[in-house]
Structure 1
Amino acid sequence: MQKFSKTNELCHLFLVLFVSFSFCKKSPSSSGEENLLALLPLLSAAANASVCPKSTIPTDIYLATTVVSASSSISGFSDPKKAVNGVCGAGELVGSLDVYALDITGAGATIVLSWGGRTVKNVSDSIDFIVYDNSFRISDDSNTYAMDPSVIQVSIDGTNFCGFNPSYSGGNVNLMDSWTKFAGLRPVHYNMTTKPFINEDLFINTGGSFLLGGGDGFDLDDLDPADPNDIGCDPTLANNIKTNGFKFLKITSASDVTNPNTSAKFPWPPGSYNGSDIDGVVAREIQ
């Protein structure tokens, strides 16, 4: 999560490391040695940022390659190409810097991506695509993360979208279990340069809803035409997408989407400088 503006990359990098380090310390009583060990992954992530992404995307990675629409204005992170130029995860304890940051509300809170005219298929009994953000763990409790919850919708024509009817339990905004069917929850381990995988490996489930390469997976069979936020979706369209796949994917900061259970926007971590941070989206199969 990018929380601060920056005047240059070095300044921003220092701030991200400083803030991340303050979250990753075990406790105020941790020793200097423990704190130093907690900082090492962050320094490694900084090094990764300088070598990722690759100039050429591997042909076996079915990455969304086209930005259809994007209009955020987050200083230092407003280049939408960052959402399609490769996945540069930094692991469990720190978020990637190679991201496109959405706004918290308004038109800039949404980005629409595509696979350059190709169709993402619905693979039977399988996660069909993965959204990569830059969540990272902020305590020894494996359920507590600095997250960027985002609402995911898909479309055949780029006009009528269907989503997954996400829900928030009303608990702590940093507890992963409080959020269901959102992206931006899980850390990203996949890094095209320093921790490469083949496409199929990215979809290996390592327990619960966690994937080998991290990120948040979505199954088209879970599309819900009853989602109150999907005005253009009905059972006919949802079933058409389930049968034939989709071409367009919309990502919206949860803070700009109404929670039907409260009639208010979904909550957002206090003090956040921006909305969701998009590192990339990978499909399991395209045609």
Structure 2
Amino acid sequence: MQFRRPWTQRIPQIARVRNPQDADHHPGPDWKPERSRSRGESVKRSLRHAIFCALTGLLWLSATACTPGGGNNDALLAAALPSGGSGGQACLESWPYSSGAYIADSSVNAAVDAGTFGDPTKATNKICGAGWASGGTDVYSTGSSSECESGENCIALEWTGKRVLDATGVDFVVYENPFLYNNNASSRFIEAVIVEVSQDGTNWCGWNPSYSGTTSAPDLRNPGNYSDLAGITPVLFMQSSANSLSASDLFTEVTDSYGNHLKGGGDGFDLSAPSFGTTGSGCNTTLRNSIRSSGFVYVRLTTAYSRNSSSFPIVSDSFDQKADIDGVVARSVTDR
């Protein structure tokens, strides 16, 4: 079953969407709301309907049919689906690797918002990828917190009691929540993320994030227009009983019909990359070299659109213009 978060979970209260790819459809002049019901009757009816749609595989096909009244059924849909996933294998709570891959397990002063995607623990509890064609549900929508730059939406994460070290190749992977449109690897739902790291939570060093396209939908969906940003590659890794990826696989690139990508999906970042240390509040050559030699403590993930909407425009079908974080995994850590 495919599950497309922006359309099946976040339908506005009035507008009904006929097709997941058609964001411009609105109710016709003859549309009428359903008769009023008691709250209990509505909840029970909606839950039965959501479960029916999930079981029959229709949830992603028809937002009109599977979201009664066009309302926001976040909790109902989450309850109807396997824990943390988008159908199929359930996402397990236990981290599957004892070494070689370490998940960021704590957030720092993260904003807590109402709704299914406002819980910051969803960015630190597990990685629940849904594959190339679907978005996952175990994600956190970035919010405004004291760790963000003014006016931005972000989340800062850390590895409790650990520092992330500069290893060979990809040092850590950011798992956001993109997916393909119509199984086309060159057309993706993208909410780009600026990635920065810090030793003290005050001074941050980043890479050289850029977007080279126009504001047209084809350009915004084309992964080739994004550089040094996360939120570009779908999350393939799910810590389920069917997982066959080793810890090292998460940091290993492969080339196939989808292009060049990490075996577990997500977007990798390398502290040894020439572009590292070229951006960031408080970053300089001394700090960059210190991070490379002794590691970093915090990683900050900022919705690029919230930092500069002109430099990093976002697709019109983004419900709230906020990136959705599944988690971050590092290759090598040491005690602080």
Length-normalised TM-score, structure 2: 0.68
State the partner residue of 1:142. Answer: 185
Alpha-carbon displacement from aligned partner over 1:82-123 (angstroms, at most 9, x marks no partner): 101110111111011111112499767100000012011101
Amino acid at match of 1:269: V
Name the SS for the 1:190 alignment partner: coil
Q: Is the 8 A contact 1:188 1:215 kept in 2?
A: yes
Cα separation, 2, equivalents of 1:280 and 1:196: 19
Deviation for aligned residue 1:57: 5.3
Amino acid at match of 1:188: V
Cα separation, 2, equivalents of 1:18 and 1:178: 33
Name the SS for the 1:239 alignment partner: helix
Residue 202 in structure 1 maps to residue 250 in structure 2: yes
Residue 173 in structure 1 maps to residue 225 in structure 2: no
Cα separation, 1, equivalents of 2:312 and 2:173: 22
State the partner residue of 1:213. Answer: 264
Cα separation, 1, equivalents of 2:53 and 2:226: 30
State the partner residue of 2:35. Answer: none
Q: Is the 8 A contact 1:132 1:188 kept in 2?
A: yes
Name the SS for the 2:86 alignment partner: helix
Larger RCO (CA under 8 A, 6+ residues apart): 1
State the partner residue of 2:237. Answer: 190
Deviation for aligned residue 1:76: 1.4
Cα separation, 2, equivalents of 1:197 and 1:216: 16
Q: How many residues of Structure 1 are paired with residues of Structure 2 in the alignment?
A: 258
Residue 224 in structure 1 maps to residue 268 in structure 2: no
Q: Is the 8 A contact 1:111 1:251 kept in 2?
A: yes
CA distance 1:57–1:21, change in 2 (3 Å): same
Determine which structure has more spread, i.e. the larger CA radius of gyration.
Answer: 2
Name the SS for the 1:242 alignment partner: helix
Please give the root-mean-square deviation of Cα atoms over the aligned residues, in Å.
3.0
Residue 59 in structure 1 maps to residue 98 in structure 2: yes
State the partner residue of 1:266. Answer: 312
Alpha-carbon displacement from aligned partner over 1:34-57 (angstroms, at most 9, x marks no partner): xxxxxxxxx9963347x2132455
Cα separation, 2, equivalents of 1:271 and 1:190: 25
Q: Which runs of 5+ in 2 are unaligned?
A: 12-42, 63-80
Length-normalised TM-score, structure 1: 0.79
Percent identity, aligned pairs only, is 33
